[in-house]
Structure 1
Amino acid sequence: MTVVKSCLSILVALGLIPGAVAQLTSFEAVDYPGSNNTVAFGINDAGDVVGYYKDAAQLAHGFLRRGSQFTTVDFPGARQTNIFSINARGDIGGVYYDNSAKQHGFVLSGSKFQTIDFPGAEQTMVYAMNGKGDLTGMYFAAGNPKHFGWALVGGTFSTIDHPLPNDMSCGSWISDGGEIAGHVQEKTGAYHGYFWRDGKFTSLIDFQGGKAWQFWDSIYGINDAGDMLGTYSDGRGKQRAFLRGKSGVTTFDVPGSQRTRATGMNRSGQIVGMFADGGGAQHGFLTKVAGTQQNRVLVVDDDGVDCPGGVRTIQEAVAAAPAGAVILVCPGIYQKTVSITGPDKNGLKLIATGAEGSVVLQGDYTERDGFHLENVSSVLVRGFTVRDFGTKPTTDTDWGAGNQIYLQDAHYNTIEQNTLINGDMMGIMLTDSGNNMLQRNVALVDNASLANCGIHMQGAKSANNVVRQNKIFGNKFAGIMIRGAGPGNLVADNTVVNNGRFGIDVEGTNEIWLEGNRVSYSQGFWGTATPGGKQPGLGINLVSVNKATVFDNRMRANSGTDLNWDGKGDNRIETNACDTAIPADGCKR
């Protein structure tokens, strides 16, 4: 690799907000060996870079650069391949051209290629992918010159078409929460940045400054601090890169380049893109925002095979990590509790890489907790399979003790995309922990001797938590149980099926909001005897609650009552679908 210049020239910020703007370090050229035409497009938190290069026949091939090692990545049988995105797990997204020169999107996960075609589209492009594997990009419809944006979020395709009269709407970035950024081209030729989520456009984004800023290419990256990375063309038509933060806008070019395009950014502040040199040849580049706080990435590999050079245990990485560091855990089976405690571990990001289910935190029923978070904030735990933790088995006289993921006095954390299996007694347990996000986890039990709650919340400080889009099956005690918690918790769009005594149980907790949940087949306590006896299954159970909202939930085939409310408190219960209720008119509200 070559360093283009020891110090990047920082051109003027627009001065949207007074104060210092971002400073960038030196540029490093990213050139595929032997090619004079390379484009770097995406980068993940491990620093892996993806893009494409052209061979002597000017045919494009995808590449992955890991460390200093380049690997060609071509879709099998394709005429050409472009790669645009890589996520924390190492999944790769891009476009291939078939023998008729038609474009198709694809994803490479591990060694498995998958074609992604928007339903009914003539051509499809995958431009961005998040940590969960949700996608965005652009497609062409047969016989229609217009270009549409699209999203694949949670397995559902959606068209992105801005209401402005336009020739193109394109998605170029997607957050782990499913928010998409991109650009729309009006029929007048003007470009605007946009944000889109759940079928709605939330804002248009334009630079201020009048005619000098005539063209907006797109938003290609947004970091945890809300800084936006992208590319625009100035009033003279020169394509340049920008980084827009709370303190202003930095515009930048690779020194001596004809044009510069920034297209990817990770949590460590590394930025990738492409530039054209004085002779017009294209090169990739890598630079970095100086002084980035989240500037350390640690890698964990249990046997040193998948990710050579990493430490061997997750706890070893946590112990070495400064606040805000990213810990990438490579495929393997890991033992022992992972303890994340104290403010000096605030902001850690623990991310399982590789295929779904390939990173396992394995208990043996001798340790109480899998992940243990205490007195920390802003921690991310994503993509792990956690199973078989707990130290006290359930009997017919006493409940068990154990948690796959435990939060104590832990706030503003995100627990997402984890699979929690056969714990005794909680999948995820929150005690006096508020403002946390629990989303898209799976909590299941298939062992009749265990009595579990998929998600349990308790303690007055357990307020303003969000529990959304989780799938919870087979827990003998309850799918979701919230008892004696604080106000303001939201439980929405969860699938809670085939659990025991309760689907969703709320007791002694005020100002809770339950919306859009699907709660079915709660069958009562089953399997080995428990202290709960043989009571029937309740779908949603409300006891001693006040100012609760229970709206648009679907409850069916629960062995006791679909909706059970003790009648206490001033609560809003309406537009729910169920067959049986206490009071009797509960399903008709």
Structure 2
Amino acid sequence: MRRIFVHPIVSSLLSLMLVAIAGLVSYGQTSTQSTAYTAVDVPGAADAAQGPRALNNLGDIIGRASSSLPAQAGATIWSRDGSQIDRPSASAGGDFSSACAINDGREIAGAANIGESIVPFVSTPTGGVQRIPLLPGDNCGQAFSINKQGNVAGYSSGPTGVKAFLWIRGTGVHNLGNLRGGGSSRARDINDPNEVVGTARSATGDRAVLWTKAGNVRDLGTLPGDTSSEATAINNAGAVVGYSNGPAGTRAFLWTKATGMQNLGVLPGGDFSRALGINDAGDVVGASTSSSGDRAFLWTRGAGMKDLNDAVSNDAGVDFVEAHAINNKGQILVMAMERHEASMSDQTHANHHSVCAPAPEATYLLIPVRAR
């Protein structure tokens, strides 16, 4: 693996308090201390048909690796020691698979093709690949997230539209339902208490939603003046991140039960941002445009939104353009592009809804080391 030293990022007092509560000692210990990072290049990710996009608290990364032989391409775990562990899709009845989520037990969730359709699956180290049943009458779907119990959230699709589902091990698949006046929904993430977030169509447009443990669907609204929103991730405290769209552009948000929806802003010179991940300390990662082009960001309550490239001593000729996930150790999964390519891209498209997007030039895992 190629390693790059990353200069310290100043941690805020509030973030440090949250980390201390969560027991995440890899962050700084006081407000005057800072955290150093080591950036680890994920091997083989640059050639992946679907870039790595999720990680667990152990540092294992999930995605889809490509191969010269189509039958060997499929859902892949890049383990913390750098090796690749393929999960073949044949057991799900298809000739390729992609994976979108992994828990600390190395159980993964994703999708595999079966002829003319795509179906959701869950894979365990001991039980192999298991297809997740679709909702009645549907013919395709995808699994997007898995929690520590192995419960899976995703969507099921058919003649009656797209519907968010929750698959609970031992009880089966459940339709999470829609907003009043809407006809479609997609689940994107699930936390350990079985709260699910995603997007549902309403009478006035798409809305970020929270499906509660009680079985209700809650419209999280939009930022003031906006017309639509999408939720991408939820932590175990029930804090939700995503993005809100409107005449002024797209902005990353953080929603909590206590404060509602908060605008996380954009990097200097930017006009677009999306929040894509949040850990239990409340630290948020995502992507923002800036005066320098597309950039990966880290947002904390004390420091606000910061360009991760500003903290990097980067001699590899790449820029970090998007941060997909952050775990409870503070490790951040980032996508990178060669510097000249990243500079040419000064706008992330607001209408880009792909969940498992093609990989940029490279993938890195930013690993925090002892605070200085």
| Structure whose alpha-carbon radius of gyration is higher | 1
Alignment correspondent of 1:31: 64
1:221 aligns with 2:278: yes
Matched residue SS, 2:232: strand
Matched residue SS, 1:140: strand
Contact 1:161 1:169 in 2 (8 A): yes
How far apart, CA to CA, are the structure 1 residues paired with 2:11 and 2:210?
31
Alignment correspondent of 1:490: none
Amino acid at match of 2:308: T
Select which of 110, 122, 139 maps to 2:169: 110
Contact 1:79 1:98 in 2 (8 A): yes
Matched residue SS, 1:41: strand
Q: How big is the alpha-carbon RMSD for the aligned residues of Structure 1 and Structure 2?
A: 4.4
Alignment correspondent of 2:53: none
Alignment correspondent of 1:44: 103
Alignment correspondent of 1:250: 308
Question: Counterparts of 1:545-556 in structure 2 under 5 Å?
Answer: none
- Between the two structures, name the one with larger relative contact order (CA 8 Å, sep ≥ 6): 2
Contact 2:132 2:167 in 1 (8 A): no
How far apart, CA to CA, are the structure 2 residues paired with 1:60 and 1:289?
33
Matched residue SS, 2:164: strand
1:171 aligns with 2:211: no
Matched residue SS, 2:37: coil
Alignment correspondent of 2:251: 192
Q: Mark the CA change 1:117 to 1:258 in structure 2 (over 3 Å): closer, same or farther.
A: farther
Amino acid at match of 2:105: A
Matched residue SS, 2:178: coil
Shift, 1:272, TM fit? 5.6
Question: Counterparts of 1:123-142 in structure 2 under 5 Å?
Answer: 123-141=184-202
1:80-104 superposed Cα distances (whole Å, 9 cap, x missing partner) = 322221112111111121135x211
Q: Mark the CA change 1:34 to 1:170 in structure 2 (over 3 Å): closer, same or farther.
A: same
Amino acid at match of 1:136: V
1:201 aligns with 2:216: no
Alignment correspondent of 1:544: none
How far apart, CA to CA, are the structure 1 residues paired with 2:318 and 2:114?
22
**Structure with greater helix percent:** 2
TM-score, normalised on structure 2? Answer: 0.59
Q: Mark the CA change 1:114 to 1:41 in structure 2 (over 3 Å): closer, same or farther.
A: same
Q: Mark the CA change 1:237 to 1:290 in structure 2 (over 3 Å): closer, same or farther.
A: closer
Select which of 321, 324, 331 maps to 1:263: 324
Contact 1:153 1:178 in 2 (8 A): no
Shift, 1:12, TM fit? 9.1
Contact 1:53 1:60 in 2 (8 A): yes
Question: Counterparts of 1:489-504 in structure 2 under 5 Å?
Answer: none
How far apart, CA to CA, are the structure 2 residues paired with 1:229 and 1:176?
16
Matched residue SS, 2:194: coil
Amino acid at match of 1:187: P
Aligned residues: 277
Query: Which deviates the most, 260-269 or 179-188?
Result: 260-269
Alignment correspondent of 1:71: 129
Shift, 1:216, TM fit? 0.7
Contact 1:229 1:265 in 2 (8 A): yes
Alignment correspondent of 1:7: 2
Q: Mark the CA change 1:215 to 1:56 in structure 2 (over 3 Å): closer, same or farther.
A: farther
How far apart, CA to CA, are the structure 1 residues paired with 2:36 and 2:299?
8
Contact 2:266 2:288 in 1 (8 A): no
Q: Mark the CA change 1:228 to 1:103 in structure 2 (over 3 Å): closer, same or farther.
A: same
Amino acid at match of 2:41: S
TM-score, normalised on structure 1? Answer: 0.39
Select which of 160, 164, 183 maps to 2:220: 160
Identity value in percent:
14
Q: Mark the CA change 1:237 to 1:167 in structure 2 (over 3 Å): closer, same or farther.
A: farther
Shift, 1:148, TM fit? 1.0
Matched residue SS, 2:207: strand
Amino acid at match of 1:34: A
Shift, 1:105, TM fit? 0.4
Shift, 1:116, TM fit? 1.1
Matched residue SS, 1:89: coil
